[in-house]
Structure formats: structure tokens, C-alpha cells
Amino acid sequence: MIRLNGIARTFLVGGEEVHALRDVDLEITHGEYLSIMGPSGSGKSTLLNIVGLLDRPDAGSYELDGRKVTALNDDELARVRREKIGFVFQFFHLVPRLTAVQNIELPMVLAGIDPAERRRRLDRLLAEYGLEARAGHRPDQLSGGQCQRVAIARAMSMGPTVILADEPTGNLDRHTGQEVLSVLERVHQNGGTVIIVTHDPEIGARSHRRLRMLDGAIVGDERG
């Protein structure tokens, strides 16, 4: 489903080349629950951004659901992102002036889905993520855990191929982090593909496939 071949990404920082990714090959199949771990600067976020089509590799090829996406232009990438990728961020990234339900609705609004269908999906998502009572609240009226649930519901609203979570518990206390993690695991149990970037070995241990990264390369790939 996701096939990366010889992906490389170099940044220019202060006139010096930094190899964030060097020659990465990776294959992820449908329904996997995968964690990416490694120290800061090891390239895990860059990998996530490239898988999420937010960033382009300097070299290599990327195939998503059998389609070569390396050759697409920005607007085509945006459309693929809209249909196939769901993002969950460390800092939630909810739009502060919009209510929970409006935040969840945003990807569907951008996709131009008609309001009746949006309503149907919203009802289902609110129920699934236990947000019915909080639907009309703005992010500043929600707890961290609720914010992240809203973000996950938003990521799921378009029925994506893969959920990409960048330190989804990094900004939450332990208990709330566990709660959010179990929400993500439920997505996986329902057949979704979940990729989590994390520092936390405990979270890593719960996943079914663990990638270890160091200096822009994948140095470990364990399953089970």
C-alpha cells in the first residue's frame, strides 16, 4: 500500500547540508499498526511528512495505493492528501474559532462533500469518539484529551487509507495519553492503518511493528 524506494531528503541548515533521510526503503501494508522511534533529528518526522505528502523527497520514488505520487504537483498532492491521509498532531492543530464539530467537518468542507452527507458522517464520528456532548464547544473549552479526540475524528472524517500521528500523546498527561492511544488502537482494530511517531518506548511496545531510526536511516524493523 505504501512503498518507498530509495527515498532521500536533504535540508540546507546554515549553509550546511543535513541528510534527514538517506536512501530509505519501506513497505507498509494495509491495516498495519506501526511505530517509528528514534532520537531527535533522526529523521522520523521527515519520513512522516514525506509519507503524508506534506514534503517531497529529493530522490527516490513513493507509491501510494499503487499510484506513483512523486510526480504529482502541489494541488494534486493536496487532493490525494485529502482523500487518503489523516493527520494527528502533537499540538492538536484545531482551528480555535471553530467548534469541535466544525473542526471535524473541515476536511469534508474542503472536499466539497454535500451537507447532508457531512451531517451523516459527523453524527457517526461524534458518537464513535464520544464527543456528542462537546460538539458545540470551541477548542479552548475542551480538555487536551478531548482536543486530540476531535483531531482524530477529523483525521478519520474522509475515511483515509492511513492515519499519521506525530507524537500524539506528547502534549498530554499519562492517563489522557493512554486514552488517546486506545482511540488510535481502535482505529487500527477497525481495519485502519496507523503510523505513530513517538519518543515513548511504552507506546512503541504496544504497536505491532516497530521501526527504529538513526541519522536518517532505518536501523531496526521488528514485528510482533
Partner 1 sequence: MRVADVLQFAWQVLRGSVSRTLLILLAMGIGVAAVVVVTALGEGARLYVANQFGSLGSNLIIVLPGRSETAGAMPGVLIGKTPRDMTLEDALALKRSHAIRRFAPLIVGAGDVRAGGRSRETPVLGSTADLMDIRHMEVAQGSFLPRVDPRHSQPVCVVGAKVANELFGSRSALGEWVRIGDRRFRVIGILSAQGQSLGFNTDEIVIVPLAAAQALFNTEALFRILVEAKSREQISAAQSDVEDIMRLRHEGERDVTVITQDAVLATFDRILRALTLTVASIAAISLAVAGILIMNVMLIAVTQRRREIGLLKALGATGPQIRLLFFTEAMLLALGGAAAGLAVGQLGSNVAVQMYPTIPFQAPWWALIAAPAIAMFTAVLFTLAPARRAAQLDPVQALSRR
Task: Note the residues at the interface with partner 1 (CB under 8 A).
Answer: 45, 49, 52, 54-55, 74-75, 78-79, 81-83, 85, 87, 89, 91, 93, 95, 97-98, 102, 106-107, 109-112, 114-115, 154, 158
H helices present in the chain, as ranges: 44-51, 74-84, 100-111, 115-128, 144-156, 174-189, 201-206
If the CB atoms of residues 79 and 124 are measured against partner 1, the closer one turns out to be 79
* Measured distance CA(208)–CA(120) in Å, rounded: 32
If the CB atoms of residues 106 and 217 are measured against partner 1, the closer one turns out to be 106
| Burial 167-194, CB ≥16 within 10 A → b, else e | bbbbebeeebbbbbbebbbebbeeebbb
If the CB atoms of residues 97 and 189 are measured against partner 1, the closer one turns out to be 97
Phi, psi (degrees; rounded to nearest 5) at 191: 100, 5
Map residue 28 onto helix, strand or coil: strand
Which string of DSSP letters, residue by residue, matches 175-209? HHHHHHHHHHHHHHHTT-EEEEE-S-HHHHHHSSE
Min. distance of Cβ 205 from partner 1 in angstroms? 27
Min. distance of Cβ 75 from partner 1 in angstroms? 4
If the CB atoms of residues 16 and 114 are measured against partner 1, the closer one turns out to be 114
Min. distance of Cβ 222 from partner 1 in angstroms? 28
Min. distance of Cβ 74 from partner 1 in angstroms? 6
Residue whose C-alpha cell is 500524539: 168
Min. distance of Cβ 117 from partner 1 in angstroms? 12
